[in-house]
Structure 1
Amino acid sequence: MKLSAPVYHLKRRARLLARHHKIPLHAALDRIAREEGFPSWSLLCAQTTGTSGECDILSRLGDGDILLLGARPGQGKTLLGLKLLLDAVNDGRRAVFFTLEYTGTETRQRIRSLEGGKPGSGEAVEIIADDDICGSSIIHRLAGAPRGTVAVIDYLQLLDQRRDKPNLADQVKALRDFAGNAGIILVFLSQIDRSFDPQNKPLPDLQDIRLPNPVDIALFSKTCFLHQGKAQFQSRA
């Protein structure tokens, strides 16, 4: 069923509806879903995102969520992370990309390739391309950011490379606590181990995350795994 507007626009409409009528957000979301021909918001999201690689992640994230977005190289995790930031900008949010992998110029070129019918919209995405990126520097950069700000970290395992930084588990825990208190959405792009075999299962899962050093997976409230144009989103909360 075709929606009258992108999901993030419908979610914004629901927030305005909730504020104007002083009703819970979940009730406003369900009302918007019924207007679109779905019995509830959860069914709208399930049937419009499904397992498609074009799934709208922003509509499924709440303030303070920590998302793990994992895939093997070349499967589109970086592009999906950048698309999420563009969706955030179009929703009137602050959007920040922290990358230890790409230069600022490379990232800006990728963002422009995703702008589609809204050229220039990606200029609002802030790009931090710095070898010194770590949990504490991310917290410093995002201190005072509005609730609902979206930040994508490219990528999880690279935070663990420098011996002068805290171990990865401590960095992720500090970021989780910060995000929860500040209402900021953090998305960690993640490597998937070479042992993942798509002949055994169509999509990677938590067991396939490449972790040279241990991290408590329970720190992530939601996950999304990609492979061969398909995506599987799951809430762990």
Structure 2
Amino acid sequence: MRLSAPIYKLKRQAKRLARDEGIALHAALDRIATEQGFKSWSHLASAAQPGPADSVLRQLEPGDMLLVAARPGQGKTLLGLELALGAGSLGRKGVFFTLDYTRRDVDEHLARLPGQGEIVVDTSDEICAAYITDRLTRLDTPALAVIDYLQILDQRRETPPLADQLAALKAHARAAGAILAMISQVDRAFDPARGQLPGIMDIRMPNPFDPGLFDKACFLHDGQVRMGRVG
């Protein structure tokens, strides 16, 4: 069952309801849960167990640059959108930059997710490091921005090499305290028969860059998720 808003927003609504109507918080929580189609708040909470995005969000820090990598169809785009949707839990503005999807594509992905946070979606063909940093500096709230995706960030001839763009994004994240998550492809040579998740060595690199520019990496395959520091 889809929630009309993320858990943290529903809790905020319940606190407002308890204050406005002078009722106990647990009663307000139960009323909100009933409006969402659940028997009680405990029923809602148990049905909305934290997913991979919640775990990843808890491990992110200001200035981090995160790599989110997987083969096609493994859920990296949905995870990226969940991270952007969950930015509010960190007191941040969620932004999703994509060079791969149309706004309609993004909306279809969002419709598959439980709840809707406030998110900025940018599908401009001009997306590159300079464009991204310019957009983020205009926000009045620190950002958690997801960039989709790494291997086409330098597809236009007039944009700098990928390595230079990643260095610029890293510098911005550190200076502004932003959190940047970069969606990435995994090379076709990755063999899932090895019984392992992909790793840094499996990242597809049509143009070379230093993986050490990333602070953390999240790899997905066949329903498994591994998050850790790079290096």
* TM-score w.r.t. length of structure 1: 0.73
Distance change in 2, residues 1:125/1:55 (3 Å): closer
Q: Secondary structure at the match of 2:58?
A: helix
- Return the offset for 1:90: 4.5
Q: Which residue of 2 aligns with 1:215?
A: 209
The number of residues matched between the two structures is: 187
Give the distance between the partners of 1:126 and 1:53, measured in 2 at CA: 21
2:164 equivalent among 158, 162, 170: 170
Q: Distance in 2 between matches of 1:144 and 1:212?
A: 32
What secondary structure does 2:192 align onto? coil
Residue deviations 1:33-85 (CA, integer Å, cap 9, x gap): xxxxxxxxxxxxxxx98xx8565211100011000000000000000011111
Q: Calculate the aligned-residue CA RMSD, in Å.
A: 2.4
Secondary structure of 1:212 counterpart = coil
- What are the Cα deviations for residues 112-154 of structure 1, in whole angstroms up to 9, with x where unaligned? 321x2x4xx33x2100001111010001100143564200000
Q: CA deviation at 1:91?
A: 4.5
Matches within 5 A, 1:62-81: 62-81=61-80
Match of 1:129 in 2: 123
Q: Distance in 2 between matches of 1:177 and 1:8?
A: 31
Counterparts of 1:71 and 1:221, CA distance in 2: 17
Q: 2:179 matched to 1:180?
A: no
Q: Percent identity?
A: 47
Distance (whole Å) between structure 1 residues aligned to residue 8 and residue 207 of structure 2 = 36
Q: Which residue of 2 aligns with 1:159?
A: 153
Distance in structure 2 (CA, Å) of the matches to 1:8 and 1:68: 26
Counterparts of 1:165 and 1:80, CA distance in 2: 27
5+ residue gaps, structure 1 = 1-5, 10-47
Q: What TM-score, normalized to structure 2?
A: 0.75
String of CA shifts for 1:177-201, please: whole Å, max 9, x gaps: 0110000000000000000001124
Letter in 1 for 2:182: F
Higher Cα Rg, which structure: 2
Tell me, which stretches of 5 or more residues in structure 2 are unaligned?
A: 1-5, 10-48
Deviation, 1:93, is: 2.0
Taking the aligned partners of 1:7 and 1:202, their CA distance within structure 2 comes to 33
| Preserved CA contact (<8 Å) 2:86 2:94 | no
Alignment match of 1:203 (pick from 197, 202, 216): 197
CA distance in 1, matches of 2:52, 2:89: 20
Contact kept? 2:167, 2:213, Cα under 8 Å: yes
Residues in 1 aligned to 2:193 and 2:142: alpha-carbon distance in whole angstroms: 38
SS in 1 for 2:227: strand
In 2: Cα distance, 1:53 partner to 1:63 partner: 19
Q: Secondary structure at the match of 1:98?
A: strand
Q: Deviations over 1:162-213 (max 9, x none)?
A: 1111000000000000110000000000000000001124200000000111
Q: Tell me the distance in 1 between the aligned counterparts of 2:198 and 2:8.
A: 27
Query: Is 1:235 the counterpart of 2:190 in the alignment?
Result: no
